[in-house]
Structure 1
C-alpha cells in the first residue's frame, strides 16, 4: 500500500495500555501487506526493556530520567533498524506503539521528576529529531473495557495502574495538541470487537492514502 505520491508509509498504532494496540497493529499489517515494527528493538537494550516491562509495566528503574532515556534510545533503534529499513526498501510499515505512545508515556515519567515544562522541553528536543509517522491511529476505549482487558491479559489491574492509564491518556492529548510539528492522526473507537476495529483502521488508511 502506498500514498498518492507512490511512497511507502509509516502508520503507527498508539493508545494507552490495554486498548488493543498490539492486536490491531498485527492485523492491520496483514491487511495492508505491510511490515510490522515491534515495540522494542532486537538489540540488547530492547531485550532488557522487554523483560523489564513484564515484571513492572510502568516503572523499571529508580531514576525516572534514566528510564525515559532508555525507552527513547531504544525507540530510535527501532526506527533505524525496522521502520527506516522498511521505508528505504519501499515497503509500508505498521508500528505497534510509535511516536505518540513514546511521547505520552515518557511525559508522564519525566514530569514526576522534572515538572511538565522541563519534561516537554526534553521530549521535544529528543523525539523532535525523529520524523513523525505519516499517520497515527490513536485508539481510545472506556476505562471499564481497558480494566477488563488488562485483567484478562495480566491477571489483575489495580487502581494505581488505572490511574497511570488516565494520566497517560491526558499526556497523549498534550502531545497531540502541543508538539512543535503537527501529528497527523485519526482517533479510532477501540471499544468494539477487534474485527470491527480492524475494519475501521483499514477504511481509515484507504480513505487517507487511496
Structure 2
C-alpha cells in the first residue's frame, strides 16, 4: 500500500494498564487490512534506545531527576529521526508504546520537575513531532499494581515507585488529555480487552480516513 498515508499512534498510561496488549491487537487488525505496521517503544525502539532503556529502567543506583529526563529526551531525538519519521514517510502506521506524554507525567509530575520544561525539552529533541492519535489507558494505580503483582516479574525502577508517585503520574496523564482532546482517546482500562480494542480501532480508522495533509501535527 505504497500510496497509503502514514499514521502515528501512541499508547500512554501507567504501568500495568494494558498498553502492550492493545498495541498488539491494533497491529494485528491493521495488518489484516493489508497495512504495513511498525511497532516500537520509548525508550528502547532503536539501537541507541536499548542502551538508554537499560540505564533508566534497570540501573541499580540513583539517577538525578534532570539526568533521567535528559536521557529520555536523547533517546527520543534518535528514535524519531531514525525510526518514526522514516516509517511515516513510507506511508506506514507507527504504533508506539510511550512518547513525550510519559516524560511529562513521569519525569514532570512523578519526579516533581517542571512539566512545561520537560515537554519543551522533548519537543525540541523531536523537532516538534506529535502523534496523530494518543490512546490513554486510564486505571486506578492500585488496580494497576495488582496486575503487575500477578505477572510475578521483577519491577523496574519506575514500577517500583510508591503509590503517591503513580497517583501523580495518573493525574498528569489525565490533565494532558484534557488539554489536547483532539489528539487523545481516553479509555477506562478496566473495561474488557475486546471492547477497548474496538474503541481503539474505530478511532484509528477515523484518523486514517481523514483528509490528507500534515499528518501528525508537529511533523
User: Contact 2:39 / 2:96 at 8 angstroms: preserved in 1?
Assistant: yes
- Residue of structure 2 equivalent to 1:140: 138
- Measure, in 2, the Cα distance between the counterparts of 1:178 and 1:200: 21
CA contact (8 A) 2:135 2:184 kept: yes
| Between structures 1 and 2, the one with greater helix share | 1
Q: Describe the shift of the 1:136–1:152 C-alpha distance in structure 2 as closer, same or farther (beyond 3 A).
A: same
Q: Which residue in the other structure is 1:202 paired with?
A: 201
Q: Calculate the aligned-residue CA RMSD, in Å.
A: 3.1
SS at match of 1:121: helix
Structure 1 position 48, deviation (Å): 2.8
1:78 and 1:26, CA in 2 relative to 1: closer, same or farther beyond 3 A? Answer: farther
Q: What CA deviation, in whole Å up to 9, does each residue of 1:162-209 have, x standing for no partner?
A: 322111112223434558xx7611111211333332122112222444
Query: Are residues 48 and 153 of structure 1, via their aligned partners in 2, closer, same or farther at CA, if it must alter by over 3 Å?
Result: farther
Secondary structure at the counterpart of residue 94 of structure 1: strand
Q: Residue 60 and residue 19 in structure 1: after superposition, are their counterparts in 2 closer, same or farther (change >3 A)?
A: farther
Contact 1:64–1:109 (Cα < 8 Å) also in 2: no
User: Structure 1 residues 135, 36: closer, same or farther in 2, change over 3 A?
Assistant: same
> How high is the TM-score relative to the length of structure 1?
0.78
SS at match of 2:131: coil
Count of matched residue pairs: 198
Q: Does residue 186 of structure 1 match 2:185? A: yes
Segments of 5+ residues of structure 2 without an aligned counterpart are 32-36, 210-219
Structure 1: runs of 5 or more not aligned: none
